[in-house]
Chains A and B, each alone.
Chain A
Amino acid sequence: MPEHDPLQETLHLLLRERADDVAHTRFGLDVVRGRARTIHRRRVAGATTAAALAVVALVVPTAMLVRGDLRADSVDPAGPSHTPSAIDTANPQPRGPLAWADLTGPPVIHTDDGSTLRPQVDGQLLSFAAAGDDRWLLQVSDDQGRSAEAVLIDDTGTVVMRQAMDSNMGLAGSDDELAVAWLDSKHHVVVLNRGDERPEDWGEVPDGSKPVEVVGCPDECGVVVNEPFEFTMTPYLVTADGASGWHGEWLSQVTDVSPDGRLATGLLPGNEEKLCWGLLDLERNRLEWRTCEQGNLTFSPDGSRLLATPPTTDGFGFFTEYLLDLDGGVLDTIDGGFTGQAWSTSTSWLTVDTASEGAPTTVVRHDLDGSTEVLDGPVSESFPFLLETR
């Protein structure tokens, strides 16, 4: 510090005196661990909603499934290149409302028929997804948040399968409850099909990969995974036989795939200072539109609308939520403080609302007609509710 500058000298003394006046609050290990659990849940939830382990419908033409072959000029932009797929014939059943978990004590899952399920597991629940036939796949971490297991429970909450998994990545569900997927502790994509008791190992992906969604099951299952690529991410499709495709020319990360597997949303490559999202037509390999005003675009269960947040948020904080049509037009907006948001039915979505971090929190259902209903809470816990992964 230059000695001749009285302002700098005064500033130094001022800061020291002010710092000495601070009342000394001491945090014990238990308090730090508690906050660490909250942070870990947020990280996993963010990884689940913003990035994804997804099983993807194989409506992408076979030619696109060979890594490196998907090029903008390789597909007739106007051609009706629709390839018959499992999505066309599977006639997926509509899903019930979204479930949520109450984490204020031992986890309680509130299921779509209004009943509750108490998983017989220890540790903290980081994410959960429907595995079909009233079974649920849970991501459960130890108290320190250092390791995690994928735990399958039946309709009584009894554990029927468990396997070590990547503790930093969430689960990926399918829109039709036909499969769930995750990364095991060795970065292998693991898929559990509806009705199966043992998962299938679909092979290794690079460290740092994030699974997004499972589609195309049961006949042509695939998992969309955002893989680290040089200094960014690139989405790949991982299948049981090891085939994979990528959409690197359009999206740097896939956020969601439409229920019919024909459209995808995701982050566009570009300047990291300005995040922009786009809607990609997978069949035509064409970017339909882009926006730098909304991000984290997720499809409604019927694929007719999109739920969105501002592009820079990780889904936690005060911001505006957007309801968009498939052309990117804004249908509705909601302002508030949120720690979670996801489609429930084709005409409603759930949010976890809070006035501030640690303030009373509620689970709220929003309907397209503008009505709202508080489904749970308020409770004054940190991160008390967790929405189901779909």
Chain B
Amino acid sequence: MTPVVDASARDVEFTDYLAARQGAMLRTAYLICGDQHQAEDVLQTALAKLYLAWDKVHDKHAVDAYLRRIIANEATSLWRRAWHRKERATDDVPEGSPHHDRYDDGTDDELWALVQSLPRRARAVIVLRYYEQLSEAETADALGISVGTVKSQASRAMATLRERAPAHLHPRGGGHA
């Protein structure tokens, strides 16, 4: 039997979660989408789906994983990609202000562009593995795919990046030889 949950208490609980975690989840969504507007749209939809399912998420310690999975699915869904294709005629890397950090020599912008050129699913694998630092099993669970698929997607994505990345990022520092 489904326990009766007081609606106002549920909303308070959900609001607390929003305040605590939506910033982190927006960052993950942004890295997968590569676009702030799309990331906000994906996160808003994911939060709405989480809200509809809130009573069914009995283990509140697993909410992050649940939301991450919705974000990844939303970002890679056929429906959203269809809208995306219409809104942006090409699948090119989005143009934006070049990012400059304290070590900037142009490498980061180049590498970021390469990450954004990866297929959505592979990009999601890369973000979850190298930003969220999830294990292969956790990444597989978050994306609803097998560990083997995570391995192959990550391997192919890294091979692509390695092939196109500046030489000094190659293993054993090829560019500096």
- Name which residue of chain B comes closest to A36, CB basis: B48
**Which residue in A6, A18, A26 is a CB contact (below 8 Å) of B31?**
A18
- Name which residue of chain A comes closest to B19, CB basis: A26
- CB atoms of A10 and B83 under 8 A apart: no
**Which residue in B15, B43, B55, B165 is a CB contact (below 8 Å) of A7?**
B165
- CB atoms of A24 and B26 under 8 A apart: yes
Main secondary structure of the interface of B (DSSP, over half): helix
Interface residues of B in 66-100 (CB under 8 A from A): 78-79, 82-83, 85-87, 99
A78 interface residue (CB < 8 Å to B): no
Q: Name the segment of A27-35, A294-302, A373-381 touching the other chain.
A: A27-35
A230 interface residue (CB < 8 Å to B): no
**Which residue in B79, B111, B131, B172 is a CB contact (below 8 Å) of A317?**
B79
Residues of B within 8 A of A24 (CB): 23, 26
B169 interface residue (CB < 8 Å to A): yes
CA distance A22 to B48 in the complex (A): 21
CA distance A357 to B22 in the complex (A): 22
- CB atoms of A316 and B79 under 8 A apart: yes
- CB atoms of B169 and A27 under 8 A apart: no
Interface residues of A in 176-197 (CB under 8 A from B): none
Interface residues of A in 1-58 (CB under 8 A from B): 1, 4-8, 10-12, 14-29, 31-33, 35-36, 38-40
B173 interface residue (CB < 8 Å to A): yes
- Least CB distance, B85 to chain A, in whole angstroms: 7
**Which residue in B87, B99, B171, B173 is a CB contact (below 8 Å) of A356?**
B87
- CB atoms of A4 and B82 under 8 A apart: no
- CB atoms of A7 and B52 under 8 A apart: no
Chain A interfacial residues counted at CB < 8 A: 47
Interface residues of B in 12-55 (CB under 8 A from A): 14-15, 18, 22-23, 26-28, 30-31, 36, 39-41, 43-45, 47-49, 51-52, 55
- CB atoms of B44 and A27 under 8 A apart: yes
A220 interface residue (CB < 8 Å to B): no
CA distance A318 to B89 in the complex (A): 13
CA distance A6 to B174 in the complex (A): 10
A337 interface residue (CB < 8 Å to B): yes
Interface residues of B in 98-113 (CB under 8 A from A): 99, 101, 107-108, 111-112
Residues of B within 8 A of A7 (CB): 158, 161-162, 165, 169-171
Assuming the contacts A17-B101, A22-B39, asked whether A357 and B111 have C-beta atoms less than 8 A apart, the reply is no
CA distance A335 to B159 in the complex (A): 38
- CB atoms of B130 and A15 under 8 A apart: yes
Residues of B within 8 A of A40 (CB): 52
CA distance A355 to B170 in the complex (A): 43
Assuming the contacts A14-B108, A14-B112, A29-B14, asked whether A318 and B83 have C-beta atoms less than 8 A apart, the reply is yes
- CB atoms of B22 and A27 under 8 A apart: yes
- CB atoms of B51 and A33 under 8 A apart: yes
**Which residue in B7, B26, B30, B86 is a CB contact (below 8 Å) of A337?**
B86
Residues of A within 8 A of B168 (CB): 6
Residues of A within 8 A of B173 (CB): 6
A312 interface residue (CB < 8 Å to B): yes
Assuming the contacts A12-B131, A317-B79, asked whether A6 and B171 have C-beta atoms less than 8 A apart, the reply is yes
Assuming the contacts A7-B161, A26-B22, asked whether A17 and B108 have C-beta atoms less than 8 A apart, the reply is yes
Q: Report the 7 A-B pairs with minimum CB-CB distance, sorted nearest first.
A: A35-B48, A19-B27, A15-B131, A36-B48, A317-B82, A318-B82, A7-B169
Task: List, sorted by A's number, 17 A–B pairs whose CB atoms are closer than 8 Å.
Answer: A4-B172, A7-B161, A12-B131, A14-B111, A18-B30, A19-B30, A25-B26, A31-B44, A32-B18, A32-B47, A32-B51, A33-B48, A38-B48, A317-B82, A318-B82, A337-B86, A356-B83
B contacts, CB < 8 Å to A: 7, 11, 14-15, 18, 22-23, 26-28, 30-31, 36, 39-41, 43-45, 47-49, 51-52, 55, 78-79, 82-83, 85-87, 99, 101, 107-108, 111-112, 115, 126-127, 130-131, 133, 158, 161-162, 165, 168-173
